[in-house]
Amino acid sequence: MGNPNRDRFDDTPWIDHGLHTLEVPTSFHPDTAAARARVDLAVRVAIGRRRRLLVVSALGVIALVGLPGTRALAKQMWNQLVLRRVVVVDVPRSDLADSVVEMFTMKPVASFNTGLDDRAAAERLADMHLMLPGNGVPSREPAWQAIEHLRLSTRPLDVVAIERALAAAGASDVTVPPEWEGTTLVAEGGPIIVADWNGMQLLQAAPFHITTSSSLQFSAFMTLAFRVFGQPPDAAATLGAALQTNPALVMRFPKRARIRSVPLQSGEHGVLVEEGAPEGAAFFWSTPGRIFALSGDELSAVQAAAIANSMR
């Protein structure tokens, strides 16, 4: 048998010679410390990306939320949205292509994450007093991060594709204004401050701004969206009108998620979204001028309410 590590092809030594020409340049001195720092940085970015996804799901729930208080509705912009009231809207159609759904729901298109040294740095960046739970989370200081800016957008509207989706839903009474071709809804917000207790994260931010093109009439747009999503005409019109009064970020959330409305001491309700492993659970609520998202591997309604009620 001989040495098992000895190659058995001495008849072609030129192959070995060729492979051995692949030498390490004499000037090559890998910098282990620098490389280790780069790995750390990449890992932190990956963690940030995961948080960003949590934010996305946070907004996904906000998407199901009606916003109170009629806002001065400039033709193109709704400012300072305040989240107070929760409306869960079911989308019965399961045959819709993602490309169609994405014309009415928002996805992040740009964000910028940064690490923060401590709470003081986070407050300076956010320009507000940050609230933390009084109970229900570890008492130690969390790690701080920020999503300095988050921009979300719908996919540009494709009138022909929408008309096709409406026809498939049996909504032959609806017409899509041709001038809506290419229209998008854009929402921008930030900084979103993230306090991380290693397994439980709390996000808080000021309300987002929504921008539309001037040709778009928001109520009609949302009514159309709900028709495409399979709502009957009356329900779609009611929802569209509600969102005209109380504009919201319109996001999607997975069907598999279990959603519960959880009453808070303030008299408002939060929304608990339980997706199970590995996504875990997230709880969303708001106070005037601020939206919150709490996420963890496990989070019960009792825990979520206790934490939200103890914020100070």
Partner 1 sequence: MQQAERSAAPPATAEAPFDFDVVFRTNYQSIARAVVRIIGDPARAEDLAVEAFCRLWRRPAAHGEQSGGWVYRTAVRLALDELRRRARRQRYEQLFSAFRGTAPAADELFSAAEERGRVRAVLSRLSRRDAELLLLRNEDLSYADIADAVGLNPESVGTLLVRARQAFGKEYVRTYGQP
Q: Which residues bind partner 1 (CB under 8 A)?
A: 4-5, 7-9, 12, 14-15, 18-25, 27-28, 30-32, 35-36, 38-40, 42-44, 46-47, 115, 143, 198
Determine if the peptide bond prior to 191 is cis (ω within 30°).
yes
Q: How far is the CB of 33 from partner 1 (least distance, A)?
A: 10
Is residue 183 within 8 A of residue 157, CB to CB? The reply is yes
**For residues 7 and 234, which CB has a smaller minimum distance to partner 1 in the complex?**
7
Distance (Å, whole) CA 18 – CA 7:
16
Cα–Cα distance, 281 to 259 (Å, whole number) = 10
Closest CB to partner 1 among residues 51, 269: 51
Q: How far is the CB of 148 from partner 1 (least distance, A)?
A: 17
State in angstroms the smallest separation of the CB of 282 from partner 1. Answer: 20
As measured in angstroms, the least distance from the Cβ of 7 to partner 1 is 6
Least distance in Å: CB of 223 to partner 1?
43
The CB density around residue 172, as the number of other CB atoms within 10 Å, is: 9
Nearest CB to partner 1, comparing residues 108 and 115: 115
Quick one: 32 or 172, whose CB is closer to partner 1? 32
**Cβ 95 to partner 1 shortest distance, Å:** 35
Task: Give the CB-side neighbour count of residue 40, counting CA atoms within 13 A.
Answer: 7
Could you tell me where the beta strands, DSSP code E, fall in the chain? 65-66, 77-78, 85-86, 107-116, 143-153, 185-189, 192-196, 200-205, 209-212, 258-263, 269-276, 280-287, 290-296
Report in angstroms the alpha-carbon separations of 239 from 22, 173, 214. 67, 18, 21
Note whether 211 and 154 are within 8 A (CB): no
Q: Which is nearer to partner 1, 50 or 164 (CB)?
A: 50
Looking at the Cβ atoms of 43 and 120, the one nearer to partner 1 is 43
**Euclidean distance between CA atoms 231 and 70, whole angstroms:** 24
Nearest Cα residue to 203 out of 133, 291, 82: 291
* Shortest Å, Cβ 80 to partner 1: 33
Q: Which is nearer to partner 1, 179 or 297 (CB)?
A: 297
